[in-house]
Amino acid sequence: MHDRCQQNKGAEVNTIDLNTLYDSTTQRTLRLWQHQRGNELVAQKSAYDPQKFAIGAGIQPVMSAEMRTLLQTLTQITRYDPLADVMPEAAFHFTFLPVTLPLWEADEPLPAKTQELLRIWANFQGAMVAISDLRLVVLPGQLLLAGIPDEQSVALRQQFCTQILASSWEAELRLRHVNTPLPAPFWHSTLLRYRAQCLPEHLQTFFLERQTCRYGDVCGALTLTKAIYNWAIAYPLGQRE
Domain ranges of the chain: 3-235
Say which DSSP state 58 is in: E
Q: How confident is the model at residue 131 (pLDDT cuts 50, 70, 90)?
A: very high
The pLDDT of residue 223 is: 97
User: Within a 10 A sphere around the Cβ of 48, how many other Cβ atoms?
Assistant: 12
pLDDT, one tens digit per residue, over 12-26 is 446 669 999 999 999
Query: What is the spatial distance between Cα 121 and Cα 54, in angstroms, rounded to a whole number?
Result: 16
What is the fold, at CATH topology level, of the domain defined by 3-235? Cyclic Phosphodiesterase; Chain: A, (3.90.1140)
The answer on pLDDT for 3 being more than 90 is no
Q: Say if residue 151's pLDDT is above 70.
A: yes
Phi, psi of 128 (to 5 degrees): -90, 135
Question: What is the model's pLDDT at position 40?
Answer: 57
Using alpha carbons, select from 156, 118, 108 the residue that is nearest to residue 236.
118
Mean pLDDT of 116-133: 97
Residue 232 pLDDT greater than 70, yes or no: yes
Q: How confident is the model at residue 10 (pLDDT cuts 50, 70, 90)?
A: very low
pTM of the model: 0.90
| Cα gap 210→73, rounded to integer Å | 12
Looking at residue 42, its pLDDT comes to: 63
The string of pLDDT tens digits covering residues 40-74 is: 566 677 777 889 999 999 999 999 999 999 999 99
**Cα separation of 139 and 115, whole Å?**
36
* Closest to 99 in 3D by CA, of 149, 45, 157: 157
